[in-house]
Amino acid sequence: MNIRFYNARILKLEKARSFSLQRGELWVKGNRIAYIGDARDIDARTVLWDREMDAEGNVLMPGFKNAHTHTAMTFLRSYADDLPLQEWLHEKVFPKEALLTQEDVYHLCRLGILEYLTSGITANFDMYFAPLPGARASVDCGFRTVFTSGLNDFCQSLSEVEELYDQIRGMSDLTDFYMGFHAEYTTSLHLMEGVAALAAKTKSPVWLHNSETASEVEACRKRWGKTPTELTEALGMYAYGGGGYHCVCFSDHDFEIFRNRGLTAVTNPASNLKLASGIAPVHRFLTEGISVAIGTDGPASNNCLDMFREMFLVSALAKVREGDASCVPAEEALYMATAGGAKAMGLTDCDCLEQGKLADLILIDVKQPNMQPENDFVKNLVYSGSKSNVLLTMVNGKILYEKQRFFIGTEPEEVYHMANAIIGRMRK
Amino acid sequence: MNIRFYNARILKLEKARSFSLQRGELWVKGNRIAYIGDARDIDARTVLWDREMDAEGNVLMPGFKNAHTHTAMTFLRSYADDLPLQEWLHEKVFPKEALLTQEDVYHLCRLGILEYLTSGITANFDMYFAPLPGARASVDCGFRTVFTSGLNDFCQSLSEVEELYDQIRGMSDLTDFYMGFHAEYTTSLHLMEGVAALAAKTKSPVWLHNSETASEVEACRKRWGKTPTELTEALGMYAYGGGGYHCVCFSDHDFEIFRNRGLTAVTNPASNLKLASGIAPVHRFLTEGISVAIGTDGPASNNCLDMFREMFLVSALAKVREGDASCVPAEEALYMATAGGAKAMGLTDCDCLEQGKLADLILIDVKQPNMQPENDFVKNLVYSGSKSNVLLTMVNGKILYEKQRFFIGTEPEEVYHMANAIIGRMRK
Q: How far apart are CA A173 and CA A282, in angstroms?
A: 32
Question: Shortest CB distance from B276 goes to which of A299, A309, A325?
Answer: A325
Q: Are B177 and B148 in contact (CB under 8 A)?
A: yes
**Helices and strands (H and E) in chain B: how many:** 16, 17
Q: Write the burial class of residue B14 (CB in 10 Å: 0-12 exposed, 13-18 middle, 19+ buried).
A: exposed
Q: Are B240 and B209 in contact (CB under 8 A)?
A: no
Domains observed in chain A: 2-63+356-406 (2.30.40.10), 68-347 (3.20.20.140)
Handedness of CA A229, A233, A234, A237 (dihedral sign): positive
Taking 90 as the threshold, does the pLDDT of residue A94 lie above it? no
Residue B427 has a pLDDT of 84
The distance of B170 to chain A (nearest Cα, Å) reads 29
Q: b/e for A273-295, b at 16 or more Cβ within 10 A? A: bbbbbbbbbbbbbbeeebbbbbb
Q: How far apart are CA B418 and CA B413, in angstroms?
A: 9
Q: What is the pLDDT of residues B371-384, one digit of tens each?
A: 999 999 999 999 99
- Alpha helices in A12-101, H assignment, sequence order: 85-87, 94-97
Residue from B69, B78, B296, B303 to probe the interface with A (highest A Cβ count within 10 Å): B78
Q: What is the pLDDT of residues A215-227, one digit of tens each?
A: 999 999 999 999 9
Q: Taking residues B114-143, report their average pLDDT.
A: 97
The distance of A371 to chain B (nearest Cα, Å) reads 9
Question: Shortest CB distance from A278 goes to which of B320, B370, B379?
Answer: B320
Closest CA in chain B for residue A370: B115
Residue B88 has a pLDDT of 82
Taking 80 as the threshold, does the pLDDT of residue A253 lie above it? yes
Q: b/e for B19-55, b at 16 or more Cβ within 10 A? A: beebebbbbbbebbbbbbeeeeeeeeeeeeeeeebeb
Residue A10 has a pLDDT of 98
- Give the E-state strand segments of B16-84 in sequence order: 18-29, 32-37, 51-54, 59-62, 64-69
Q: How far apart are CA A231 and CA A237, in angstroms?
A: 9
Residues 6+ positions from A95 with CB-CB distance below 8 Å: none
- Spell out which residues of chain A touch residue B379, defining contact as CB-CB under 8 Å: 78, 81-82, 303
Q: Which of A371, A355, A343, A305 is nearest to A116 (CA)?
A: A305
**Helices and strands (H and E) in chain A: how many:** 16, 17
Closest CA in chain B for residue A321: B276
Q: Which of A318, A320, A293 is nearest to A307 (CA)?
A: A293
| Paired sense of beta strands B64-69 and B121-127, if any | parallel
**Confidence at B359, pLDDT banded by 50, 70, 90:** very high
**DSSP string spanning A104-119?**
HHHHHHHHHHHHHHHT
Handedness of CA A219, A220, A225, A229 (dihedral sign): negative
**Confidence at A158, pLDDT banded by 50, 70, 90:** very high
- Spell out which residues of chain A touch residue B78, defining contact as CB-CB under 8 Å: 375-376, 379-380, 383-384
- The structure's pTM equals 0.98
- Spell out which residues of chain A touch residue B85, defining contact as CB-CB under 8 Å: 325
Question: Shortest CB distance from A273 goes to which of B320, B367, B370?
Answer: B320
Amino acid identity at B268: N
> What is the ipTM score, two decimals?
0.97
The distance of A211 to chain B (nearest Cα, Å) reads 16
Residue A44 has a pLDDT of 82
Residue B152 has a pLDDT of 96
Q: Taking residues A244-262, report their average pLDDT.
A: 98
Question: Shortest CB distance from A325 goes to which of B79, B275, B385?
Answer: B275
Contact (CB<8Å) B111/A83: no
Contact (CB<8Å) A370/B305: yes
**Confidence at B15, pLDDT banded by 50, 70, 90:** confident
Q: How far apart are CA A366 and CA A348, in angstroms?
A: 27
Q: What is the pLDDT of residues A9-29, one digit of tens each?
A: 999 999 767 999 999 999 999
Residue B94 has a pLDDT of 87
Contact (CB<8Å) A303/B380: yes
Peptide bond into A373 cis (omega under 30): yes
Q: Write the burial class of residue B203 (CB in 10 Å: 0-12 exposed, 13-18 middle, 19+ buried).
A: exposed
Report CA Rg, chain A: 21
Q: Write the burial class of residue A140 (CB in 10 Å: 0-12 exposed, 13-18 middle, 19+ buried).
A: middle
Question: Shortest CB distance from A372 goes to which of B111, B270, B330?
Answer: B111
Q: Taking residues A69-77, report their average pLDDT.
A: 96
Q: How far apart are CA B359 and CA A321, in angstroms?
A: 41
**Confidence at A428, pLDDT banded by 50, 70, 90:** confident
- Alpha helices in B82-234, H assignment, sequence order: 85-87, 94-97, 102-118, 131-141, 158-171, 189-202, 214-224, 228-234
Residue A80 has a pLDDT of 87
CA dist A325 to A43, A284, B95, B301, Å?
Answer: 47, 15, 20, 10
Taking 80 as the threshold, does the pLDDT of residue B170 lie above it? yes
Taking 90 as the threshold, does the pLDDT of residue B43 lie above it? no
Contact (CB<8Å) A383/B79: no
The distance of B202 to chain A (nearest Cα, Å) reads 37
Q: Write the burial class of residue A251 (CB in 10 Å: 0-12 exposed, 13-18 middle, 19+ buried).
A: middle
Q: What is the pLDDT of residues A341-379, one digit of tens each?
A: 999 999 999 999 999 999 999 999 999 999 999 999 999
- Give the number of other CB atoms < 10 A from CB of residue B132: 17
Residue B257 has a pLDDT of 98
Residue B41 has a pLDDT of 75
Which of A84-98, B112-126, B182-196 comes out lowest in average pLDDT? A84-98
H or E element, residue A331: helix A330-335
Residues 6+ positions from B291 with CB-CB distance below 8 Å: B243, B262, B263, B264, B265, B285, B340, B343, B344
Residue B85 has a pLDDT of 75
- Alpha helices in B250-328, H assignment, sequence order: 252-261, 269-274, 282-287, 307-322
Long-range contacts, A15-18 (Cβ 8 Å, 24+): A16/A335, A16/A339, A17/A329, A17/A331, A17/A332, A17/A335, A18/A331
**Confidence at B311, pLDDT banded by 50, 70, 90:** very high
Taking 90 as the threshold, does the pLDDT of residue A88 lie above it? no
Question: Shortest CB distance from A111 goes to which of B330, B372, B422?
Answer: B372
Q: What is the pLDDT of residues B233-257, one digit of tens each?
A: 999 999 999 999 999 999 999 999 9
Residue from A21, A69, A320 to probe the interface with B (highest B Cβ count within 10 Å): A320
Residue A13 has a pLDDT of 93
- Spell out which residues of chain B touch residue A75, defining contact as CB-CB under 8 Å: 373
Contact (CB<8Å) B383/A324: no
**Confidence at A40, pLDDT banded by 50, 70, 90:** confident
Pairs of CB atoms within 8 A across A/B: 227
Q: What is the mean pLDDT of chain B?
A: 96
Taking 90 as the threshold, does the pLDDT of residue B35 lie above it? yes
What are B406's strand-pairing partners? B401
Q: What is the pLDDT of residues A116-149, one digit of tens each?
A: 999 999 999 999 999 999 999 999 999 999 999 9
Three-state SS at B367: coil
Q: Which of B64, B67, B71 is nearest to B299 (CA)?
A: B71
CA dist B146 to A185, A221, B30, B65, B139, Å?
Answer: 53, 56, 21, 10, 12
Q: Which of B198, B202, B268, B242 is nearest to B345 (CA)?
A: B242
- Spell out which residues of chain B touch residue A327, defining contact as CB-CB under 8 Å: 82
The distance of A191 to chain B (nearest Cα, Å) reads 31
Q: Which of B206, B205, B64, B208 is nearest to B124 (CA)?
A: B64
Q: Taking residues A139-165, report their average pLDDT.
A: 96
Amino acid identity at B242: G
Q: Taking residues A282-305, report their average pLDDT.
A: 97
Residue A250 has a pLDDT of 98
How far from the centroid of its chain's Cα atoms is residue A263's Cα? 16
Question: Shortest CB distance from B416 goes to which of A74, A373, A419?
Answer: A373
Closest CA in chain B for residue A83: B326
The distance of A54 to chain B (nearest Cα, Å) reads 18
Residue from A212, A315, A375 to probe the interface with B (highest B Cβ count within 10 Å): A375
Q: Taking residues A268-292, report their average pLDDT.
A: 97
| Paired sense of beta strands A18-29 and A32-37, if any | antiparallel
Q: How far apart are CA A346 and CA A322, in angstroms?
A: 31
The distance of A336 to chain B (nearest Cα, Å) reads 17
What are A18's strand-pairing partners? A15
Contact (CB<8Å) A386/B383: no
Q: Are A373 and B77 in contact (CB under 8 A)?
A: yes
Residue B90 has a pLDDT of 85
Contact (CB<8Å) A384/B74: no
Contact (CB<8Å) B420/A323: no
Closest CA in chain A for residue B276: A320
Three-state SS at A339: helix
Question: Shortest CB distance from B325 goes to which of A74, A84, A302?
Answer: A84
Q: Which of A305, A383, A414 is nearest to A70 (CA)?
A: A305
The distance of A200 to chain B (nearest Cα, Å) reads 38
- Spell out which residues of chain A touch residue B309, defining contact as CB-CB under 8 Å: 309, 312
Question: Shortest CB distance from A386 goes to which of B278, B386, B413?
Answer: B386
**Confidence at A45, pLDDT banded by 50, 70, 90:** confident
Taking 80 as the threshold, does the pLDDT of residue A108 lie above it? yes
Residue B233 has a pLDDT of 98
Contact (CB<8Å) B303/A273: no
CA dist A183 to A232, A246, A282, B136, Å?
Answer: 10, 11, 21, 58
Contact (CB<8Å) B81/A376: yes
Q: Taking residues B249-269, report their average pLDDT.
A: 98
Contact (CB<8Å) B270/A312: yes
Residue from B273, B321, B420 to probe the interface with A (highest A Cβ count within 10 Å): B273
Question: Shortest CB distance from B304 goes to which of A278, A375, A384?
Answer: A384
Question: Shortest CB distance from B77 goes to which of A277, A312, A375?
Answer: A375
Q: What is the mean pLDDT of chain A?
A: 96
H or E element, residue A19: strand A18-29
Taking 80 as the threshold, does the pLDDT of residue B82 lie above it? yes
Q: How far apart are CA A325 and CA A223, in angstroms?
A: 39
- Spell out which residues of chain A touch residue B86, defining contact as CB-CB under 8 Å: none
Q: How far apart are CA B361 and CA A398, in angstroms?
A: 38
* Phi, psi torsion values for A298, nearest 5 degrees: -80, 160
Residue B80 has a pLDDT of 87
The distance of A47 to chain B (nearest Cα, Å) reads 34
